[in-house]
């Protein structure tokens, strides 16, 4: 049976979406990834582009409210927010906090923003590989 992993950040627009997409694409044989936000916004188009560059399509994802997962047991809740308050999720067996920079604060030209998104994507995908790729 696959372990269920819920990635949470504030808007569920980039960091948690990248993590969900990466986990499902690379380790979907052992894990089922989900994502949600405490104040969901819109899927970040830069995150979609950055994931497409590494062969993972998250264009069909949507931002979801954490409340959609009330009562749904998860094996692991991973908070990917950078500082601030992280939610308490009583239906998670294990909770982990791994902070990553918030891409919504990136400014500059299209290429400068993409470079920032790529750095954040690479940090997240590396952490996914280290944490979930080695276990099973």
Residues known to be catalytic: 9, 81, 86
Alpha carbon separation from 130 to 60, 71, 106, 135 (Å, rounded): 26, 29, 26, 9
Measured distance CA(36)–CA(34) in Å, rounded: 7
Question: Is the Cβ–Cβ distance between 79 and 102 less than 8 Å?
Answer: no
Residue of 80, 79, 62 lying closest to 13 (CA atoms): 62
Nearest to 83 by CA among 99, 103, 96, 95: 99
């Amino acid at each position: 049976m696959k372990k269920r992993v819920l990635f949470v950040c504030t808007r569920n627009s980039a960091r948690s979406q990248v993590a969900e997409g990466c986990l499902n694409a690379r380790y979907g044989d052992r894990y089922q990834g989900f994502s949600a936000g405490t104040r969901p916004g819109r899927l970040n188009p830069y995150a979609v582009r950055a994931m497409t560059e590494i062969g993972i399509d998250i264009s069909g994802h949507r931002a979801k409210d954490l409340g959609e997962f009330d009562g749904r047991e998860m094996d692991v809740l991973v908070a990917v927010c950078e500082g601030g308050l992280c939610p308490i999720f009583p239906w998670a067996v294990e909770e982990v906090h791994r902070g990553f920079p918030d891409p919504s604060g990136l400014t500059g030209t299209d290429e400068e923003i993409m470079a920032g998104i790529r750095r954040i994507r690479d940090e997240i995908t590396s952490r996914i590989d280290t944490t979930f790729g080695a276990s099973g």
